């Protein structure tokens, strides 16, 4: 088992209307993750820009004060509302633009770039959406876990993805604990927005704080991972099957 972290994201600030913590292969995002941005956007920032050869996912957190407006070259034009997920399989290539739907308000979310299997890199681009009210949640013993993509126990996100991938938005009260063992893929990444959860892997314990991430790569599916929290915590957990070669790269994964 390979563990990378805790690591801190690279700060990206554009004017007074966009700030993000960026994670990529250079600071620990594991295959199939290419890059993750935890961002806050308060005005149009990048303009239309292309993606190709991978999936570009936008997940808007429930505390966002604005929906995230999306427009792309494959005919989609509409808001990604707080708590919702938009998954674009860029495939052979698509151009999109994004901005807060409400002028003067803030979109708080994550943009996640996931490597596609080789046989899907050139498919015609398409998008998958799931509304906030359709995302199932595990609620028990001081915790709430939203299953935005993939499956956790008996709960499954209603969307069909191009590959195996799990995206969980997790809220733990003080003293909460949950064992994710046996429900993860070979490659897992965990990012903390608030609090200080403790991560238990076999006989190892790692404690993360806000803005830090941890990558875990196991030789097979079934990573033994349990999480506890002595504070109120909010974290995101992603897990997927590795694809292709670590050297694979898309043509362009981020606006300049």
Q: Do 215 and 5 touch, CB atoms closer than 8 A?
A: yes
User: Under CATH, which architecture does the 10-132 domain have?
Assistant: Sandwich (2.60)
User: Under CATH, which architecture does the 137-240 domain have?
Assistant: Sandwich (2.60)
Six token digits for residue 224: 């033994």
Which stretch of DSSP H or E encloses residue 172?
A: strand 165-172
Q: C-alpha distances in angstroms, 180 versus 49, 224, 236?
A: 37, 7, 13
CA-CA distance, 46 to 21, in Å (whole number)? Answer: 16
Model confidence over 28-85: pLDDT tens digits? 899 999 999 999 999 988 989 999 999 999 999 999 999 999 999 999 898 999 999 9
Model confidence over 168-218: pLDDT tens digits? 999 999 999 999 998 999 999 999 999 999 999 877 889 999 999 999 988
Q: What is the DSSP string of 46-85?
A: S-SEEE-SEEEEEEE-TT-SS-EEEEETTS-EEEE-TT-E
Task: Report the largest interatomic distance among the alpha carbons of the chain, rounded to a whole angstrom.
Answer: 50
For residue 229, report the phi and psi dihedrals to the nearest 5 degrees: -145, 125
**Residue-range domain boundaries for the chain:** 10-132, 137-240
Indicate yes or no: pTM above 0.85: yes
Residue written as tokens 């399989």? 89
137-240 has the same fold as 10-132: yes
pLDDT tier for residue 3 given thresholds of 50, 70 and 90 = confident
DSSP conformational letter for 25: G
């Amino acid at each position: 088992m390979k563990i990378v972290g805790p690591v801190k994201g690279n700060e990206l600030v554009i004017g007074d209307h966009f700030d993000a913590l960026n994670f990529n292969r250079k600071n620990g995002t594991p295959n199939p993750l290419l890059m993750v941005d935890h961002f806050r956007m308060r005005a149009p920032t990048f303009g239309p820009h292309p993606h190709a050869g991978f999936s570009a996912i936008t997940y808007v957190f429930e505390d966002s004060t604005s929906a995230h407006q999306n427009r792309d070259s494959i005919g989609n034009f509409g808001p990604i509302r707080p708590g919702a997920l938009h998954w674009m399989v860029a495939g052979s290539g698509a151009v999109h633009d994004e901005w807060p739907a409400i002028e003067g308000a803030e979109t708080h979310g994550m943009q996640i770039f996931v490597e596609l299997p080789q046989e899907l890199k050139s498919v015609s681009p398409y998008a998958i959406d799931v509304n906030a009210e359709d995302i199932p949640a595990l609620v028990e013993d001081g915790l709430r876990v939203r299953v935005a993509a993939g499956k956790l126990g008996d709960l499954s996100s209603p969307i069909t993805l191009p590959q195996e991938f799990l995206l969980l938005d997790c809220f733990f009260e003080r003293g909460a604990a949950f064992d994710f063992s046996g429900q993860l893929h070979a490659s897992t990444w965990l990012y903390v927005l608030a609090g200080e959860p403790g991560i238990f892997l076999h006989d190892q314990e790692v404690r993360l704080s806000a803005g830090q991430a941890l990558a875990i790569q196991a030789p097979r599916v079934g990573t033994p991972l349990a999480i506890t929290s002595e504070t109120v915590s909010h974290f995101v957990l992603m897990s997927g099957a590795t694809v292709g070669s670590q050297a694979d790269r898309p043509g362009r994964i981020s606006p300049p």
